[in-house]
């Protein structure tokens, strides 16, 4: 079996209870470190995103699980900078390589930001949000970004969906160059 997105290992643990062996992938070094520390029998961990599956697996597999996107483990840690629910550094990187969300938002031009928001977040008002982001630079905290987006789009506390949701999703996908973003399902 293959778990293409190990995270906290919930799917993997359930699969291992059946007696199967699992090869699990994750690009987040914290997830790999915690998985290895657990010393789980029958588990092989690969520190890579799932785009490396084909090269890493040389035999047929019986099944595959993928829980695409940011994990609750990442969202719950404000210092990782993934969520607008609690203030943290504007980072959003699953692995600590490459530019952070702050790097992107503070250096990209308005058009590039708008394109990311539209392409990866389906944000219909991407140009308005991008304009507000550029005007508010420099941004260093998730709380700052959320405030800028809410102000640009209008926010009523009783609204069902926070207006920052699409923007944060788009930036997370862009910063991590999420391999799922280009997949044809």
Distance of CA 54 to the CA centre of its chain: 22
Q: Residue 139: name the closest of 177, 93, 96, 87 by CA.
A: 87
- pLDDT of 99: 94
What are the tokens at 38? 């657990």
Cα–Cα distance, 11 to 1 (Å, whole number): 11
Count Cβ atoms below 10 Å from residue 48 Cβ, excluding itself: 15
Radius of gyration of the chain (CA): 18
The torsion angle over the Cα atoms of residues 74, 78, 84 and 90, rounded to 10 degrees, is -100
> How far is residue 23 from each of residues 32, 74, 90, 127, 138, measured CA to CA in Å?
12, 21, 32, 42, 42
How many other CB atoms are there within 10 angstroms of residue 178's CB atom? 20
Contacts of 51 by beta carbon, 8 Å cutoff, 6+ apart? 179
Closest C-alpha among 32, 45, 68 to residue 176: 68
Q: Any idea where the domains of the chain sit in the sequence?
A: 2-65, 72-180
Query: Beta-carbon neighbour count of residue 25 at 10 Å?
Result: 24
pTM above 0.85, yes or no: no
Architecture of domain 72-180 in this structure:
Orthogonal Bundle (1.10)
Q: CA 123 to CA 132: how far, in whole Å?
A: 14
Per-residue pLDDT tens listing for the chain (185 residues): 998 888 888 888 899 999 999 999 988 888 888 889 988 889 999 988 777 888 888 888 998 888 776 656 655 665 666 678 889 999 988 777 789 999 999 999 999 999 999 999 999 999 999 999 999 999 999 999 999 999 999 988 778 899 999 999 999 999 988 655 444 33
């Amino acid at each position: 079996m293959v778990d293409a997105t190990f995270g906290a290992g919930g799917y993997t643990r359930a699969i291992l209870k059946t007696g199967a062996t699992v090869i699990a992938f994750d690009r987040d070094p914290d997830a790999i470190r915690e998985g290895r520390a657990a010393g789980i029998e029958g588990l092989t961990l690969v520190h890579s995103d799932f785009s490396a599956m084909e090269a890493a697996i040389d035999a047929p597999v019986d099944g595959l699980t993928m829980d695409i996107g940011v994990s609750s483990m990442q969202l719950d840690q404000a210092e990782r900078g993934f969520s607008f629910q609690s203030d943290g550094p504007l980072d959003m990187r699953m692995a600590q390589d490459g530019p952070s969300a702050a790097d992107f938002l503070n250096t990209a031009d308005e058009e590039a930001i708008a394109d990311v928001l539209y392409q990866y977040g389906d944000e219909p008002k991407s140009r308005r949000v991008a304009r507000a982001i550029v005007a508010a630079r420099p941004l260093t905290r998730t709380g700052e970004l959320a405030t800028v987006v809410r102000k640009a789009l209008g926010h009523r506390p009783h609204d069902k969906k926070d207006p920052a949701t699409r923007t944060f999703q788009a930036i997370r996908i862009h910063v991590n160059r999420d391999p799922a973003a280009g997949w044809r399902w």
